[in-house]
């Protein structure tokens, strides 16, 4: 039993050292964190397509040269109702920013919650359910810290989303 715990301890120490070396090495090349602010058209499937406008904000923190994680908040306003989606996103830059500095295609997936608030004559109704989003787009650098981009996503509650955004790099 002592041999197993000693081997486990040594394995964990070795894994931590390797992970530390990888993170320190990749930290030099990671893009800076960014805030994305955007607007989108959303088409919901409901006996045809119900079109609505949306505004969103997201934060991207790079954990490697090409992979970022962070939250996204999406607000949709419709006639007598509104939607709020909060997801945790994982973004993968198809081409690293360091090799293609002006244009970066990306893929994104997210999971979280989708809340709907309906207003009726007799009162309000709120429902919350799980949500996901998946899609991709492209960001183009227009300044040292500013990029603009477009993306398209599909998600649940079943919808198609096409939008544009401004990305602002933070730090360094």
pLDDT tens digits, one per residue of 124-159: 888 899 999 999 999 999 988 899 999 999 998 888
Whole-number pLDDT of residue 13: 65
Q: pTM of the entire structure?
A: 0.76
Q: How many CB atoms within 10 Å of residue 70?
A: 20
Q: pLDDT tens-digit profile of 20-76? A: 544 544 445 788 899 999 999 999 888 788 889 999 999 999 999 899 999 999 999
Whole-number pLDDT of residue 160: 92
What does the alpha-carbon distance between residue 83 and residue 112 come to, in Å, rounded to a whole number?
13
Which pair of tokens denotes residue 75? 């607000």
């Amino acid at each position: 039993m002592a041999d197993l715990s000693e081997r486990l301890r040594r394995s964990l120490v070795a894994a931590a050292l390797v992970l530390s070396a990888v993170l320190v090495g990749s930290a030099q090349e990671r893009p800076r964190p960014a805030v994305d602010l955007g607007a989108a058209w959303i088409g919901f499937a409901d006996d045809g397509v119900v079109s609505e406008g949306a505004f969103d904000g997201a934060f991207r923190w790079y954990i490697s040269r090409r992979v970022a994680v962070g939250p996204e908040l999406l607000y949709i306003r419709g006639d007598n109702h509104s939607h709020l989606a909060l997801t945790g996103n994982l973004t993968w830059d198809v081409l690293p920013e360091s090799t293609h500095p002006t244009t970066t295609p990306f893929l994104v997936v997210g999971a979280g919650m989708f809340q709907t608030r309906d207003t009726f004559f007799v009162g309000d109704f709120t429902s919350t359910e799980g949500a996901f989003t998946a899609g991709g787009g492209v960001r183009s650098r227009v300044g040292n810290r500013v990029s603009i981009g477009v993306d398209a996503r599909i998600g649940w509650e079943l919808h198609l989303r096409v939008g544009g955004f401004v990305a602002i790099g933070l730090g360094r």
